[in-house]
Amino acid sequence: MFNLKLPSALQKVDHPLLRKVDCELWVKRDDLIHPEISGNKWRKLALNIKEAEQKGFSKVLTFGGAYSNHIAATAAIAGISNLEFHAMIRGEELNPNSNYCLQKANEQGLNLHFISRSDYAELKSIKDWSRMGEEWKDTYIIPEGGGNELGVRGCEEIYNEIELAFDHLYCAAGTGTTAAGILRSLKGEKLHIVSALKGGGFLKEEILKWQTKKEKKHQIELIEDYHFGGFGKVTEELVDFQESCKTEWGLELDYLYTSKAFFALVELLKKEHFPAKSRIVFYHSGGLQGNRGIREHKSQ
Ligand SMILES: Cc1ncc(COP(=O)(O)O)c(C=O)c1O
């Protein structure tokens, strides 16, 4: 029904820097899964939608910000699913015409509910929505960003699809759900998680919380210095880097997550951090639809 390109491509990248340090770099192209339901969004939503369908729910409710990749992906699914989709959007001052992302979501049939930031924080923590009135009786809840057990389980597939022995995997993190799923399925490889948030130190605990094997903690490294000012923030340096990645590396990256993670990886390559013959995988978690929002914001 969704016409997805799965398993997603694993592409080898060539660059003089890689030749210099004698390392191989492969990119797991989840950005190519689908133009709108791309990257880790599909991974985190897939099993949740299946669960809602199999358990016979008639509605799905989720939560997000006005430019969120999660909301964009949920809206695209709403456009082709038989379920009725609702989203609580942070910001009571907004409306379906506030930006192109909300406009599109609205057109795709996602029912948008605009709520204040304080109500949003309260509502997203409610576990039992059947108490919230008749309207929500038969509703399957997907937490913000798809961060639940089924979201983590969906992300286990990222590693399972990689049919190549490698040493290191780099990915970006916001909630840590994606990294948690990858870590669950990793064998002996190292997972390097680049926080897109300032003060992302909590992510380590968050990611380990989803693991049953406690020894997994030895396989992860949390990189906290590449947030470029914090979540949702971009600097001129990052914008220039994102631009140069297209021509130099043949990669289109999003500003908020994958550019930050790839920047960290390129810095480490420049510092000759990896032993010769290392094979590195970079996880492209998509999010390109969000770039338009950042560009619009910057040009205002
Ligand atoms: C493009 C992109 N990459 C990475 C992430 C971080 O994923 P997670 O919140 O699972 O850590 C997100 C947010 O979901 C995202 O939109």
β-strands 190-195, 111-115: how paired?
A: unpaired
What CA–CA distance (Å, rounded) separates 160 from 140? 27
Mutational test site, ligand 1, from 34, 37, 38, 40, max ligand atoms within 8 Å of CB: 40
**pLDDT tens readout for residues 21-70:** 999 999 999 999 999 998 999 999 999 999 999 999 999 999 999 999 99
| pLDDT tens-place string over residues 127-158 | 889 889 999 999 999 999 999 999 999 999 99
Counting Cβ atoms within 10 Å, is residue 9 exposed (0-12), middle (13-18) or buried (19+)? middle
Q: Can you read off the two tokens belonging to residue 184?
A: 């669950």
Query: Which of helix, strand or coil describes residue 115?
Result: strand
* Low-confidence stretches of the chain (pLDDT beneath 50): none
Q: Structural domains in the chain?
A: 9-35+149-299 (3.40.50.1100), 40-146 (3.40.50.1100)
**How far is Cα 79 from Cα 203, in angstroms, rounded to an integer?**
33
**Torsion sign (Cα): 100, 101, 106, 108:** positive
Q: Which two tokens stand for residue 248?
A: 């130099």
Tell me which amino acid residue 154 is.
Answer: G
* Residues in contact with ligand 1 (CB, 6 Å cut-off): 39-40, 69-70, 145, 172-179, 254, 257-258, 285-287
Q: Which residue has the tokens 């997550």?
A: 257
**CB atoms closer than 10 angstroms to residue 125:** 10
pLDDT recorded at residue 300: 60
- Residue 299's pLDDT is 63
Ligand 1 atom closest to Cα of 180? 10
Mean pLDDT of the chain: 96
The pLDDT of residue 3 is 87
- How many other C-beta atoms are found inside a 10 Å radius of the C-beta of residue 275? 10
To test the ligand 1 pocket, which listed residue (8, 62, 175, 253) has its Cβ within 8 A of the most ligand atoms?
175
